[in-house]
Structure 1
């Protein structure tokens, strides 16, 4: 047994002994600290077992689930497993459809495969797929003709669109938008441009990319299958849409009137699939506070197997099991559901297992547009996600200092022998890269509770999105304590007298004021 495990056992025995002694002493001799120790040790969080934590993890991260890729059979198997755990525990199904109650919030998907070829003739230059071109959308096609520059191409008032007919023309737009900073904002702006250009009858859209995210990373991302929520079909052929690497404004001639091009692309084949979030409700005990909700969220999908994962692998192991990312978080969700059902908190809790995080936060974004409980009555989201751990003495919380529940989270971690490290790896911009941001954007305080790390070092990179991220490599005593701390933090937040609030001046504070009216 490792030294840390021995210490954990000794601490547990000592706390249990303190609890028994406190129960046998007259009340007047019990200090407030001892009373607190007695109360905490009686909570069902202390009964979360290493064996059960390991069993859940080994199933969710097993080879049989083939990496739990969104829209694939292994992802549905994981969803069914979670739903049946909710059923066994007695959670109320959160989804009502046609007078039926269900645990599945179903989502229809469009799956777009990467282009296999593309060229663009521009004067004497031939731009190639990957090097200078990325195909964003469209079928196999050849388009030739004069281009029309429309500025950012986001609305009718933009340069080029105002008062002009672009039907049957090739449209060129500046990349991003005046306000877009993050990759998510840039992608959203790009989709809006494609939609508008299609509505105006353009035959193709060329976007001049010159953003902070390196071209190599962007090209790699779009060289694998993409997924989006299906939009209502209007039976139109998808508009051909490409990005051109315009670093240093090297293709500025595309903005000039009279410039002609020839664009050939294999297109991006489109297929359809489905997936689901899994959601259950634990009703609160307080007659007033039970009308408010704390969301516990974690994504249960991972990146799949083989080439679909978009990550190099060895022939002997092509399954990306995702034990750390995010079977650990999913198991914390299941264990929290169990103990909060055994002793329910004052507020109601929506336990929400999210799909599609690895393919663009699909599940949480969908929930953001189709909430199962009113956002105005949702006071907090405690998300659990992570790339792995390199320190088993801590939990790491992204957004701890911003979201108003620092005391509860630190108290919960300390109860199980862990410290809290706030805002790890700030250079990674992690707050806006996990499902919590879909709730934050609505105004809901939403930190991410992660396994212990301070930096993205070799210990993290060794397992992050790698085929060796298997259950066998986990420290399950640490995972047990992680689950206990997460569950207790959820309880403390759900039992708070007041609602947590964003730190003054936070970029999501305005959304919170609009949502809650304070």
Structure 2
């Protein structure tokens, strides 16, 4: 596609395409985060009063900035929102859970040794008695890699016990992507494949390093309200029982079955691994599930292009968080989600303010705040399957999930290690601020599959999620890494993710200048950036090339 290559070259060298970059206000970002992450919003869970307050706040901020509604059409006019139907599930009361092992029955406490999710396969009750347990390695069936952890096992009436991440994680070498997580390593895939293979349930063994977060994050994320897209046959994608167990429980479970956990893990890293029944071990699980189909909402604001309004650049961030759950040690039940992702949502608002003050771009710019990211990227998945503006003419998606609350850094990154022209352009733009690109320092965390750019990427749209760097101007890599590790351990998907009075958001304000410039260049060009030829998303994008001129 010669015209794309020429367009990218022109984009990177022509300063005439760049409008004056507006200055963004860190104090204003902080004020928006403080509001959205306040207890009044109850953790911004979908289909709650917190959602209603969030939608009202975002719509007002976008309107005050001078943007137009960009959501669903009603009576010939656009709304601020896009309706997103979701299946909602809640466990009623405390689940009764027990493990039978070595002739003993051990009661399990929800959120402590085990974290089970509300059934999303359509069942109103989970009533499992002494279901046998089978160890299935990493729970991967990948024909293109000649890999099958199931190898003909009959899982009817049985619970699959699987490891998190990929078989390559421990060694960094093998048939997957070394230390880089593939989609086969994601917990969502483990449940989906378990359902496809006929398992009654799937339990994932939690270990902090391969999961990239601690048990507190698992418990906080999985013992609250669950959501899913509305499916014709939900049991095709969800087994009856979905959950996680602590590593220590798994070690004892394997030992009582005459197996060694570490030894079996090593075997699971080989192609010739075969399923291992955990002899004498079984699980009881009994609880009611309340399910209903509800309507949540994406929020969309639009700046219509002056000469190519049918071509769109999307900036996105997810507005939702976990909501209200069990109290922590302080008695706090609200998961405020200040960094995750009130910071990205506030930055989206601030970016919209900046665009609205400048000369109207040639292409349209959409500011999309999506719902239910915390439940599996559901809002962005819904948009990608029901786009308000055609994906074939969506130039790029630039997503923000966790923006820098302190000072600026000398580097930046993106989630994952995809290769595409949009990243090359971003690198060129960042040089104007003397910011260098640093590859994802934790490819094993699978962040590429965990943020809202992914549903767009897998449908061919060039899409990335911005990641603030860790080489801080004030304090260097040591300070940046310390802050990141502290957040992951103490606040990520926990009640402690609250607004802090020392958050100046100077880093986010500077980063928005970079992201504005990238999007503004795209919005005032004829460029159509594409994926590298060795990326699987390239073929999907190329299939619609005749719709882009």
> For residue 56 of structure 2, what is the aligned residue in structure 1?
80
Decide which of 41, 44, 58 is 2:34's aligned counterpart: 58
> Structure 2 CA distance, aligned partners of 1:447 and 1:146?
42
CA distance, structure 1, for counterparts of residue 22 and residue 132 of structure 2: 70
Query: 1:254 Cα shift?
Result: 8.9
Match of 1:267 among 287, 291, 294: 287
Asked if 1 retains the 8 angstrom alpha-carbon contact of 2:135 and 2:162, the reply is no
Equivalent position of 2:501 in the other structure: 472
Equivalent residue, structure 2, for 1:434: 451
Partner of 2:353: 338
Structure 1 regions of 5+ residues with no counterpart? Answer: 1-34, 198-203
C-alpha distance in 1, partners of 2:497/2:152?
A: 51
| 1:447 match: secondary structure | strand
TM-score by length of 2: 0.68
Offset of residue 150 of structure 1: 12
Partner of 1:278: 299
- Distance in 2 between the 1:219 and 1:476 partners? 28
* 2:470 aligned counterpart, secondary structure: coil
Residue number among 340, 344, 369 corresponding to 1:325 in the alignment:
340
Structure 2 contact 131–284 (Cα < 8 Å) conserved: no
Which position in structure 2 is the counterpart of 1:458? Answer: 482
Task: Show CA shifts across 1:420-441 (max 9, x none).
Answer: 4333423433322211122111
Alignment match, 1:12? none
Alignment root-mean-square deviation, CA: 4.6
1 CA distance for matches of 2:133 and 2:30? 59
Seen in structure 2, the aligned counterparts of structure 1 residues 249 and 209 have a Cα distance that, compared at 3 Å, is farther
The reply on whether 1:378 has 2:394 as its aligned counterpart is yes
* Match of residue 68 from structure 1: 44
Indicate the residue corresponding to 2:200 in structure 1. 205
2:269 corresponds to: none
Does the CA contact (< 8 Å) of 1:119 and 1:133 recur in 2? Answer: no
1:102 matched to 2:79? The reply is yes
Aligned 1:28-47 pairs, distance under 5 A: 43=20, 45-46=21-22
Asked whether the 8 Å contact 1:306–1:313 carries over to 2, the reply is no
Relative contact order (alpha carbons < 8 A, sep ≥ 6): 1 or 2 greater? 2
Q: Partners in 2 of 1:261 and 1:321 — Cα distance? A: 39
Match of 2:258 in 1: none
8 Å Cα contact 2:297/2:371 also seen in 1: yes
Matched-pair contact (CA < 8 Å) for 2:140–2:190: no
Q: CA deviation at 1:383?
A: 0.8
- What SS is found at the alignment partner of 1:373? coil
Which protein has the larger Cα radius of gyration, Structure 1 or Structure 2? 1
SS where residue 463 of structure 2 aligns?
coil
Take 1:269 and 1:437, find their aligned partners in 2: how far apart are those partners?
A: 30
1:113, 1:269 within 8 Å by CA — same for their partners in 2?
Answer: yes
Q: Quick one: structure 1 residues 294 and 127, their matched pair in 2 at CA, closer, same or farther if it must change by over 3 Å?
A: farther
For 1:207-240, what per-residue CA distance to the aligned partner results, in whole angstroms no more than 9, with x for missing partners?
475798469859646752252225358899x974
Cα deviation, 1:94-125, whole Å, max 9, x if unaligned, reads 31257553221222341334963322446736
Q: Deviations over 1:18-56 (max 9, x none)?
A: xxxxxxxxxxxxxxxxx959x96x63x425445544443
